[in-house]
């Protein structure tokens, strides 16, 4: 199997674990400690030391995926740079797809992969969080009832109120 084929297969398996919302299986794709760097201005870098830490850390993302009814993620693009036979940089363009088949959002992630009993992720840099938050906001807005507006009441002895456009 060619190197790029094995990297592509790695990401296909990684994607299937996300589709199953299986935090324990997802945790096996990493070499610990692993560095996460994101486009999050509050906490741009996180080091996750162990599988149990990863399972706890990934829970909010998996819940957000459930809230959005994510069905799958597809690799829209994959570029690799081979630094050594056991060390690869992979840049993946992901499309996050709802169970309905609609595109929810796209994002890009850069992975440092090391070959330790198969490929493992040693570091990730990604721009997903702002896009995920925006998708959640859109979903929340679409499912929120309109704000309650009390009907105007006529008050005896008072002139009716005028609208802004009057």
Instruction: Please determine, for residue 161, whether its predicted confidence score (pLDDT) is greater than 50.
Output: no
At residue 163, the pLDDT reads 38
At residue 4, the pLDDT reads 83
- Residue 148 placed within a domain: no
Instruction: Please determine, for residue 97, whether its predicted confidence score (pLDDT) is greater than 60.
Output: yes
- Residue 161 placed within a domain: no
What is the mean pLDDT of the segment spanning 121-128? 96
The angle formed by the CA atoms of residues 44, 126 and 50, to the nearest 5 degrees, is 70
Beta strands in the chain (DSSP E): 30-38, 45-48, 70-84, 87-98, 103-115, 119-126
Q: Does the N-terminal peptide bond of residue 33 adopt cis geometry, omega within 30 degrees of 0?
A: yes
Q: Which two tokens stand for residue 127?
A: 């721009």
Number of domains present in the structure of the chain? 1
- 109: domain CATH number? 3.10.450.50
**pLDDT range class, residue 140, cuts 50, 70, 90:** confident
Does residue 14 contact residue 26 with C-beta atoms inside 8 Å? yes
What is the mean pLDDT of the segment spanning 114-139? 94
Instruction: Please determine, for residue 74, whether its predicted confidence score (pLDDT) is greater than 70.
Output: yes
At residue 12, the pLDDT reads 96
Average pLDDT in the chain: 87
Q: What percent of the chain has pLDDT over 70?
A: 85
- How crowded is residue 69: how many other Cβ atoms within 10 Å of its Cβ? 13
At residue 160, the pLDDT reads 47
- Residue 84 placed within a domain: yes
What is the mean pLDDT of the segment spanning 64-92? 96
**pLDDT range class, residue 1, cuts 50, 70, 90:** low
At residue 69, the pLDDT reads 95
What is the mean pLDDT of the segment spanning 40-60? 91
- Domain of 69, in residue numbers: 3-135
- Residue 147 placed within a domain: no
């Amino acid at each position: 199997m060619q190197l790029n084929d094995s990297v592509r297969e790695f990401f296909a398996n990684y994607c299937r674990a996300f589709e199953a919302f299986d935090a324990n299986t997802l945790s096996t794709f990493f070499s610990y400690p692993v560095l996460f760097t994101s486009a999050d201005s509050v906490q741009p870098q996180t080091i996750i030391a162990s599988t149990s830490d990863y399972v706890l850390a990934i829970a909010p993302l998996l819940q957000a995926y459930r809230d959005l009814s994510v069905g799958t993620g597809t690799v829209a693009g994959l570029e690799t740079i081979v630094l050594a036979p056991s060390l690869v940089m992979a840049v993946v363009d992901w499309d996050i797809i709802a169970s309905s088949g609609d595109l929810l959002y796209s994002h890009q992630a850069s992975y440092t992969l090391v070959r330790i009993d198969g490929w493992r992720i040693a570091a990730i840099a990604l721009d997903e969080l702002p896009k995920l938050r925006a998708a959640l906001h859109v979903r929340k807005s679409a499912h929120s009832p309109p704000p309650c507006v009390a009907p105007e009441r006529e008050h005896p002895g008072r002139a009716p109120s005028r609208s802004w456009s009057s």
